Structure 1
Amino acid sequence: MSTFLLLPGAGGRAWYWHRVVPELERRGHRAVAVDLPADDDTAGLERYAAVATAALDGADTDVVVVGQSMGGLTAPLVAARRPVRLLVLLNAMVPRPGETGGEWWDAVDQAGARAALAREQGRPAGPDDGTDFGHDVPPEVWAAGAEHATDQSGTPFGEPWPLPAWPGVPTRVLAGRDDRFFPLALQRRVARERLGLEVGEVPGGHLCALSRPGELAARLDALVRETTRLHA
């Protein structure tokens, strides 16, 4: 059994993982989804990391940290603070030392990649109305999410990413093959350029924990089993 620490993206609500938690538990794991202080303008990346790390009190070293979207800024900070078995980035921002979250978007040309995919698929590339973000999320789940919505403070986006280098922890990158917000081609390029890693594809879009929870949990479970074999 592993303990999965599940970090949400912008808005910072543990609710994002509510469909994945029982799927991981059904596979014999412990799952801890974290509420991050997204709406607190005094909270920066160090506070996010402290809150996330505190959620692991009592856990041993068999910990898998999963960061979704903006959670990619926090997940490696947790891995640098305490022993973890595996770090998983899911449709995630991959920061460079000293780069702010606000700079990341232009540095990787997220807008250009999103517009290029929209053109390729014959869709409008205007301001996101939720279509690119949650296009494959079941309507009833999308509607329920409105009750858990939280404003995202810009504070952590304005801070330079604080680590001098990526932590020395086994890292895997997963990307939704139907992600319109962080297109698969973008995630492949960023993972290669910044981490020297290839991307593992999973079903679903940017919010695949809401749209394809069973398949995602199965993939996370498989990653743990793969890591166990490699270190056996």
Structure 2
Amino acid sequence: MGASASVAHADGSGRGAPTFVLVHGSGSNSYYWQPLLRELGLRGHRAIAVDLPGHGPGAYLPESYQFPQDLDRLRTEPSPISRVTLGDFAVHVIGVVRRARRNGPVVLVGGSLGGATLNAVANQVPDLLAHLVYASAFCPTEHPSVLRLMMTPEAATSSVFRLPAIQTPPELGVSRVNWRSGDPAFFALVKESIAADRPDAEVRALMNILEPDESAAVGASEDARGLPTGWGRVPRTFLRYTQDRTIPLPLQDLMIREADATTPHNPFRVRSLPAPHAGPRDPALLADELELVARLSR
């Protein structure tokens, strides 16, 4: 499945300028970053958005997910993404980083569950990275996994707990969400969870680029901690999304505190943006922040 993962890119600056490598979150793909890619490209920056293994053109969409949907079958239909691991994500992104590094410094950017991949990559190849940017992304350090972070009191208000997922059997190894549900109550919860500031039409467009399946192991059982010997050597920025109801501010701040305690000599550079989980509606706000990081990374 790793071979099917693809790369979308916006070409800009010449050799020696930082390259932004963008990593998407759960059930997403490189298309999520297209507005930011466009903005960065127009500003003359080099940026690449990866499709993690099992996502984008390599995604498996269950037959029961198509219209007309078979909801009973959707609960049990297997998906090859169940075999994909955080290690597979890391291997793929490291390959992209190695190629991008030939042109100059690399700034690795992750959103949501993509933060776990940032940790895994930085643990293995810290010398290839100029900076890490967590855009309201998970950054486990003291807690071993994303699931353990979501079990903390700081995560208690997360709207994810009210967002109905497909109840698949544990042995299926898949976290599955029916983004094509026609239930108005489901739509309202999705909007509240990820894009409360968007008009309904934009939320529907966002839902239609999301993929139903994610490997359950990536967030639940795999050790995703950033380690001082690797990850802890890379300068890092955390972009706090102050309107995020999926990763609420108390949880974002907990991750920042725990990371800083793990490497007090290399604390997070922290910036706050008035954005929900899906990020700023205006990609210029995020591009402005990445330009600041680029200056630090030259």
Q: Distance in 2 between matches of 1:8 and 1:98?
A: 21
Give CA deviations for 1:151-198 in whole Å, capped at 9, x if unaligned. Answer: 222021211226543331001111112212222233123202332536
4+ aligned runs moved over 6 Å, structure 1: none
* Partner amino acid, structure 1, of 2:252: Q
Partner of 1:218: 288
Identify if the C-alpha distance between structure 1 residues 141 and 52 changes in structure 2 by more than 3 Å, giving closer, same or farther.
farther
Give CA deviations for 1:128-154 in whole Å, capped at 9, x if unaligned. Answer: 321121112344432222332212220
* Partner amino acid, structure 2, of 1:72: G
Q: Distance in 2 between matches of 1:148 and 1:226?
A: 33
Partner of 1:119: none
Q: Distance in 2 between matches of 1:193 and 1:182?
A: 16
Mind listing any 5+ residue stretches in structure 1 that lack a counterpart?
116-124
Tell which deviates more after alignment, 75-84 or 170-179: 75-84
Identify the match of residue 188 of structure 1 among 237, 253, 269.
253
Q: RMSD over aligned Cα, in angstroms?
A: 2.4
Check if 1:48 corresponds to 2:89: yes
Partner of 1:205: 276
Q: Distance in 2 between matches of 1:87 and 1:222?
A: 13
Contact kept in structure 1, 2:154 and 2:254, CA below 8 Å: no
Contact kept in structure 1, 2:155 and 2:250, CA below 8 Å: no
Higher-Rg member (1/2)? 2
* Partner amino acid, structure 2, of 1:44: T
- Count of residues in correspondence between the two structures: 217
Contact kept in structure 1, 2:120 and 2:224, CA below 8 Å: no
What TM-score comes out, normalization by structure 1 length?
A: 0.83
Percent of residue pairs identical: 29
Alignment of 1:15-164 (within 5 A): 15-38=31-54, 40-60=81-101, 61-82=104-125, 83-96=128-141, 99-107=144-152, 109-112=154-157, 114=158, 127-128=162-163, 129-130=189-190, 131-150=192-211, 151-157=213-219, 158-161=221-224, 164=227
Q: Distance in 2 between matches of 1:138 and 1:54?
A: 38
Mind listing any 5+ residue stretches in structure 2 that lack a counterpart?
1-16, 60-80, 164-188, 262-267
* Partner amino acid, structure 2, of 1:68: G
Q: Distance in 1 between matches of 2:108 and 2:132?
A: 5
Contact kept in structure 1, 2:26 and 2:113, CA below 8 Å: yes
